[in-house]
C-alpha cells in the first residue's frame, strides 16, 4: 500500500528543517512531525562543516519516528538556490499535419529539453514550462487538446550542483532509504506562494535567510532566472554586534527590538538586558541606520538583477518576500520596498495558521513532495 505521507528536508543556510506530513482536508497539511536543528550551514556555495550534516539527518529520522511507517522508503530533499542554476531553452515538434496536442507530445518536449541540457557538472532537477506557442503564434500554458501543426515550448531547466547531490546521496544511503528525490526549493516556493495570475507575465520572489539570499524570476510554471548571494539576517546581527561592541546573542536581542519605521530623537534608545544581566542602552537612530545600511546593500543587488533580467524597467512587477532574514525585522519589508521603489508583499504559504514568510520554504517543499507522491 502506498504511503500518503512524505518526509521532506529543507537545507537552510543555518538550519536543517524536516517535516513528516500528508495531505489534509481542503488541501491543508496533516503534519505528523516537525523538527529543526541549527548547524554550521553553508556560505558562498560551500558547506562549512559537511561532516556534521549526516548525524543531524540521522537524528531527524529517529526523532520524527518515521521508522514505524514501513512503506516510507523515500526522502525528499530541497536544493537551495545557492547550489542551483537555471537555463531557459526552446524545443519544437512539427506534427506534419494538424491534430490535437497530446500529453505524450508534452512529455517528448520535456525529454528533448532534458537531453539537450545535459551537463557533466550538474544534475537536472526539474523541467517546467514558461509558455507554449501553438503554430499560429498563440501562447498558452495549457496546450493539451489544442489543434496544432507544430508546438514550441519555452522551458525552464533547474540544475543542482553534482557535489550537493552526491553528498546527500551518500548520507541517505546510510539511512536505509531506497530512494531520494531532489526538489528545487526556489521553484517550489514560487509555485506555491505566488498566485497563478501573478506569474502570467513576470514575478519576483526574494528569499532572505540567515546567511544567504536568493532572487527568483518566475514566469508561467517555471523559473525564468535565478541568482543567489551570501547576505542575510545573520549579517545584520553581526553588523549590530560590531557597531555597538556587544555579543552576537545581545545583537540578536537588539535586532528583535528594532522598528525601522521609527525616527527617534537623540535621547531615544533601545534598552536590552546584556548577557551579564545589566541593562544596555543603544541609540535608536544609530541602530536603525546599521540595519538599514545592510538592507540597502541587499536591495542594490536585487535592483541590479532586475535590470539584467528584464529588457526594460517594469513598473508593474509583483514582488514577494520570504525567509526570516528581513521579514522578521519590524518594518523590514517596507524598508526593502522603499529601497527598491516597489511594493513588496510577504510571500505567505496559503495555509491557515501557517501563513508566515519564514515557513515558506519548508511548506512549499512539502506541497511539491505531496504532489509528486500523489
Per-residue pLDDT of the chain (374 residues; tens, 9 = 90+): 456 899 999 999 999 999 999 998 888 999 999 999 989 989 888 899 999 899 988 888 788 876 555 567 889 999 999 999 999 999 999 999 999 999 999 999 999 998 887 888 899 999 999 999 998 789 999 999 999 999 999 999 999 999 999 999 999 988 878 889 999 999 999 999 999 999 998 999 999 999 999 999 999 999 999 999 999 999 999 999 999 999 999 999 999 999 999 998 989 999 999 888 899 999 999 999 999 999 999 999 999 999 988 876 677 899 999 999 999 999 999 999 999 999 999 999 999 999 999 999 999 999 999 999 88
Number of helices (H), then strands (E), belonging to the chain: the values are 9, 18
Tell me how far apart the alpha carbons of residues 53 and 372 are, in angstroms, rounded to a whole number: 26
Helix axes 185-193, 360-373, angle to 10 degrees: 90
Tell me how far apart the alpha carbons of residues 96 and 1 are, in angstroms, rounded to a whole number: 44
Grid coordinates standing for 336? 526593502
Give one word for 65, left, alpha or beta, with left for phi > 0 and alpha for psi -120 to 50: left
pTM of the predicted protein model: 0.94
Amino acid at each position: 500500500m502506498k504511503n500518503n505521507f512524505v518526509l521532506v528536508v529543507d537545507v537552510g543556510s543555518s538550519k536543517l528543517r524536516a517535516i513528516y506530513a500528508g495531505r489534509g482536508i481542503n488541501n491543508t497539511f496533516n503534519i505528523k512531525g516537525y523538527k529543526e536543528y541549527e548547524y554550521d550551514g553553508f556560505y558562498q556555495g560551500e558547506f562549512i562543516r559537511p561532516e556534521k550534516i549526516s548525524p543531524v539527518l540521522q537524528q531527524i529520522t529517529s526523532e520524527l519516528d518515521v521508522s514505524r511507517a514501513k512503506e516510507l522508503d523515500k526522502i525528499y530533499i530541497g536544493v537551495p538556490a545557492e547550489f542551483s542554476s537555471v537555463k531557459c531553452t526552446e524545443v519544437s515538434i512539427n506534427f506534419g499535419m494538424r491534430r490535437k496536442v497530446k500529453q505524450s507530445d508534452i512529455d517528448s518536449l520535456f525529454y528533448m529539453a532534458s537531453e539537450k541540457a545535459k551537463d557533466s557538472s550538474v544534475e537536472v532537477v526539474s523541467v517546467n514550462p514558461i509558455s507554449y506557442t501553438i503554430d499560429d503564434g498563440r501562447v498558452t500554458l495549457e496546450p493539451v487538446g489544442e489543434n496544432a501543426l507544430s508546438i514550441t515550448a519555452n522551458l525552464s531547466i533547474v540544475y543542482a550542483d553534482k557535489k550537493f547531490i552526491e553528498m546527500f546521496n551518500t548520507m541517505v544511503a546510510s539511512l536505509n532509504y531506497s530512494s531520494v528525490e531532489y526538489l528545487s526549493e526556489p521553484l517550489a516556493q514560487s509555485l506555491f506562494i505566488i498566485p497563478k495570475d501573478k506569474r502570467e507575465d513576470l514575478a519576483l520572489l526574494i528569499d532572505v535567510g540567515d546567511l544567504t539570499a536568493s532572487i527568483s524570476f518566475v514566469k508561467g510554471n517555471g523559473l525564468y532566472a535565478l541568482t543567489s548571494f551570501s547576505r542575510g539576517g545573520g549579517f545584520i546581527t553581526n553588523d549590530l554586534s560590531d557597531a555597538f561592541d556587544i555579543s552576537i546573542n545581545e545583537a540578536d536581542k537588539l535586532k528583535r527590538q528594532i522598528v525601522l519605521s521609527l525616527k527617534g530623537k537623540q535621547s531615544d534608545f533601545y534598552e536590552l538586558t546584556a548577557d551579564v544581566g545589566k541593562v544596555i542602552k543603544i541609540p535608536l537612530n544609530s541602530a536603525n541606520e546599521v540595519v538599514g545600511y545592510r538592507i540597502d546593500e541587499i536591495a542594490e543587488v536585487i535592483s541590479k538583477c532586475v535590470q539584467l533580467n528584464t529588457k526594460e524597467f517594469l513598473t508593474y512587477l509583483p514582488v514577494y518576500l520570504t525567509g526570516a532574514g528581513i521579514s522578521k525585522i519590524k518594518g523590514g519589508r517596507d524598508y526593502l520596498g522603499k529601497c527598491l521603489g516597489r511594493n513588496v508583499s510577504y510571500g505567505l504559504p496559503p495555509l491557515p495558521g501557517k501563513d508566515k514568510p519564514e515557513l515558506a520554504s519548508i511548506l512549499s517543499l512539502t506541497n511539491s513532495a505531496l504532489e509528486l507522491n500523489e
